[in-house]
Structure 1
Amino acid sequence: MHITNASERRYDLDWLRLIAIAIVLFFHTGMIFNKWDFHIKNAETSSTFGYWMAWSHAWRMQLLLFISGAGTYMALGKRTVAQFAGERFRRLFIPLVFGIFVVVPPQIYFEFISRFQNYGDFYKTVFEFKPYPQGGSFSWHHLWFILYLLIYSLIALPLLSYLRSPRSQSFRDKLWKTMGSPAGMLLIPAAIIVMSQVLLRPFFPEETHALVNDWAYFVYYLSFFIFGMIFYSNQNLWCSIEKNRKFLLVASVIVLIPFYLMFFNFYKTITLPWKPETIEVVFHVSANIGSWFWVVTIVAFGQRYLNRPHPWLSRANEGVYPFYILHQTAIIAIGYYVCQWSWSITAKFWTISLLAGISCIMFYVTCIRPFAIMRLFFGLKPNRKAVEVTQTASAVATAE
């Protein structure tokens, strides 16, 4: 078994990030056509979307946060705490503010387009700072991920600094002893995640998930971020994920049985002889357990089959962040018009997905990647060529 260096480039995580973002694109397009609430809806919907979206919903963002936790551990190794905090501000806070005032408002506009004469008439309401969806237009919508990641990165700094110090060796050895086995790496994190929801969901139920009052979700997603840091801090533990991938896959498939039994009961596909409250509890517990099981399983197979470079991987990986920021706005703007066409659901789904994806890629290539100010707004590092030119000019001026 190959034990990687903690600072070694993880191509598997880059690939998994790309795959997860692609799934997010299809997921949010699917929201237009399934039975769940969304900002815009097609006149005709289908239960079929719910079958695969329920499963992917259990791990897509959780996987991104686990990867972010591992990436955060790697990032601090090359920076001081002050440099790390400054970079988080530049790469997360600035895009978040830009997104709230520029990227997100069109989504709300298309949702309530009949209330306004034009976009300018609507946009003035954003600065009333009344939260969405309680009658206002101020929201971060899908950018909750950036907000959470910013907060997680800062509040996790003490733990992060500790994990990277020699003082944590004893703690990391205990992690290996307790979670190095397949049962340990599955059950201990899953138990912590479930317990957090058992304690918080009664006070912050799913129905209240909005601009505020979502502490149960905050802690839930924080768990995946922290476990990403913890697992990557011990390379024996990290590599044991790949070693036990077959066991993890079997366990993940088994936990889908109670999950989908409850889900099919919700959709009236089957009828279970249990109280609705019992079915609800079993569904949420199996979903929480399955979230962790599938995240660690996907990471395991990623380690096995995806940890290899590709000529365009680094370029594609740089564009993932702007793509995420833009994708939901593109989906809603394009979807609003496509849903008015007399096409089948399948044709509309693929048309919106492809047009939104292509639009985001083209906007990144032509309007974000070449320009320093746009790179700043979308959380990208300064262009290397621009930095080299600036450094060269500075050196010449100094020499003169």
Structure 2
Amino acid sequence: MASSDARRHDLDALRVGAFLLLILYHLGMFYVPWGWHVKSAHIIPELEPLMGLLNPWRLSLLFVISGAATRFMMEKVSPGPLARQRSQRLLVPLLFGMLVVVAPQSWAEVVEKNGYAGGFLDFWPRYLSFDQSFGIILPTYNHLWFVAYLWLYTMAALAAAPLLGLADRWAGRFLTGPGLFVLPALAFGLFRATAGRAWGETHIIWADGYAHLQYGASFIIGLLLARQDRAWDLLQRVRARTALAAAAFAATGIALALLWNVENLPGWPGAAFAFLREAYAWAVMCALFGYARRYIRRGSPLLTTLNEAVFPFYIVHQTAIVLAGHLLTPRGLPAAAEAAAILAATVASCVGTYALARAVPALRLPLGLKPLPRAPRTAPAAAE
């Protein structure tokens, strides 16, 4: 067990990096052949392998980090007050995001897919009135599903707080040696080979069994590893070997996918590929944890600022990408110029949203920042 209360700057940096990577990933979704809310006229199949390398671990990494962060919070705040704090910090942005931030995404989607001719101000009241005639669920949370799932897992962890002592003993026994590399990979592989192949991901919180297995387990792993110093030290020592393992798994998976499309085959070949995919994903996460722990020991003003800013960035980034893409596509720009313009608009929107949240106290919570601390009450001066 760890005894230090020092802030984990390595996890802060990985959290920032994962969220910034998510912005680039969603920009990529505008160009790959896969379905998305809006699409560019420039479809680039060559992006698929790169996106496929990110897909297996990018969100699981965030849930592991979130689980660890939740554990650190649980050691400082009792379950009742922490449940209120986390509900405020997660549900207020989620509700505001659904009602305001995400709505323009749905408008752009129904314009492109359904031929809707009305403007956003005509669409918004229909969006808010649960109008289902467009063939999509309205209102919706789109990319903010992560926030809803994180709140759910946090509440479950707080409810199970009395069991943490037993869970810590289990983690100290099984997740501080070879089991650290084998057990999570096997669990994720089993989830992928069974529920993942049968159900896929829906991002509908009440009908997303595979995602809850995958991301709920990721959250629990973070919760258990948070105070296991032996596990973190091991990850640091073997970081190069886990990186090599990840590269080997990736090369094997790419070869099998390109030569035989194994991932989509029924029966044991597809199931075996699922285990290979998740072994690659866990090896990547282990390598990232190891390298971050080795090289990111100290904080910095930039890291502090970005660590605060990434939640507002996350809330607004996809709306910025969808709207910029929707508005720029008819202009017929070359793909590189179009992508650069969308990225610039997205960065400006993210920075502007963060600045707005800091400048307007009433918008801090809805846009993802902590509320300002209340000024301490002062006793009235005695009469002279």
Counterpart Cα distance in 2 of 1:323 and 1:250 = 32
Q: Which moved more, 1:314-323 or 1:340-349?
A: 340-349
Deviation of the 1:306 alpha carbon: 1.8
Deviation readout 1:81-122 (Å, 9 max, x if unpaired):
111100111001111111111111110101112314211221
Q: Which moved more, 1:294-303 or 1:234-243?
A: 234-243
Deviation of the 1:234 alpha carbon: 1.9
Counting only pairs closer than 5 Å after superposition, residues 290-309 of structure 1 correspond to structure 2 as 290-309=280-299
- Cα distance 1:284–1:209, how it changes in 2: closer, same or farther (>3 A)? farther
Q: 2:228 aligns with which of 234, 259, 277?
A: 234
Q: Report the number of matched residues.
A: 379
Instruction: Give TM-score scaled by structure 2 length.
Output: 0.90
Q: 2:247 aligns with which of 253, 267, 278?
A: 253
Counterpart Cα distance in 1 of 2:263 and 2:321 = 39
Q: 2:182 aligns with which of 166, 183, 187?
A: 187
Counterpart Cα distance in 1 of 2:90 and 2:262 = 48
Question: In angstroms, what is the RMSD of aligned CA positions?
Answer: 2.5
Amino acid at match of 1:185: L
Q: 1:344 aligns with which of 324, 329, 334?
A: 334
1:112 equivalent in structure 2:
110
Counting only pairs closer than 5 Å after superposition, residues 56-71 of structure 1 correspond to structure 2 as 56-71=54-69
Counterpart Cα distance in 2 of 1:55 and 1:131 = 35
Q: 2:26 aligns with which of 25, 28, 42?
A: 28
1:267 equivalent in structure 2:
none
Deviation of the 1:342 alpha carbon: 2.8
Counterpart Cα distance in 1 of 2:264 and 2:363 = 54
Amino acid at match of 1:217: A
Amino acid at match of 1:370: A
Whether contact under 8 Å (2:193, 2:270) holds in the other structure is: no
Counting only pairs closer than 5 Å after superposition, residues 14-53 of structure 1 correspond to structure 2 as 14-53=12-51
Counterpart Cα distance in 2 of 1:299 and 1:255 = 18
Counterpart Cα distance in 1 of 2:233 and 2:133 = 43
What secondary structure does 2:369 align onto? coil
Q: Which moved more, 1:218-227 or 1:112-121?
A: 112-121
1:88 equivalent in structure 2:
86
Deviation readout 1:197-216 (Å, 9 max, x if unpaired):
3442355235x565652211
- Structure 2 residue 6 is the aligned partner of structure 1 residue 13: no
Amino acid at match of 2:332: S
Identity of aligned residues (%): 26
What secondary structure does 1:152 align onto? helix
Counterpart Cα distance in 1 of 2:353 and 2:337 = 24
Whether contact under 8 Å (2:200, 2:210) holds in the other structure is: yes
- Cα distance 1:346–1:123, how it changes in 2: closer, same or farther (>3 A)? same
2:307 equivalent in structure 1:
317
Whether contact under 8 Å (1:322, 1:378) holds in the other structure is: yes
Q: 1:172 aligns with which of 168, 172, 182?
A: 168
Counterpart Cα distance in 2 of 1:36 and 1:274 = 16
Deviation of the 1:259 alpha carbon: 2.1
Amino acid at match of 1:197: R
Counterpart Cα distance in 1 of 2:140 and 2:45 = 29
2:371 equivalent in structure 1:
382
Deviation of the 1:75 alpha carbon: 0.6
Counterpart Cα distance in 2 of 1:161 and 1:344 = 58
- Structure 2 residue 238 is the aligned partner of structure 1 residue 244: yes
- Cα distance 1:45–1:77, how it changes in 2: closer, same or farther (>3 A)? same
Whether contact under 8 Å (1:33, 1:45) holds in the other structure is: yes
Counting only pairs closer than 5 Å after superposition, residues 384-399 of structure 1 correspond to structure 2 as 384=373, 387=374, 390-391=375-376, 394-395=377-378, 397=380
- Cα distance 1:20–1:275, how it changes in 2: closer, same or farther (>3 A)? closer
Deviation of the 1:376 alpha carbon: 1.7
Q: Which moved more, 1:343-352 or 1:328-337?
A: 343-352
- Cα distance 1:34–1:130, how it changes in 2: closer, same or farther (>3 A)? same
- Cα distance 1:398–1:254, how it changes in 2: closer, same or farther (>3 A)? farther
Q: 1:201 aligns with which of 196, 209, 214?
A: 196
2:348 equivalent in structure 1:
358
- Cα distance 1:330–1:398, how it changes in 2: closer, same or farther (>3 A)? farther
Deviation of the 1:349 alpha carbon: 1.8
1:285 equivalent in structure 2:
275
Q: 1:213 aligns with which of 191, 207, 210?
A: 207
Q: Which moved more, 1:209-218 or 1:328-337?
A: 209-218
Amino acid at match of 1:149: L
- Cα distance 1:44–1:82, how it changes in 2: closer, same or farther (>3 A)? same
Instruction: Give TM-score scaled by structure 1 length.
Output: 0.87
Counterpart Cα distance in 2 of 1:396 and 1:121 = 52
- Cα distance 1:64–1:275, how it changes in 2: closer, same or farther (>3 A)? closer
What secondary structure does 1:369 align onto? helix
Whether contact under 8 Å (1:70, 1:228) holds in the other structure is: yes
What secondary structure does 1:8 align onto? coil
Counterpart Cα distance in 2 of 1:151 and 1:191 = 24
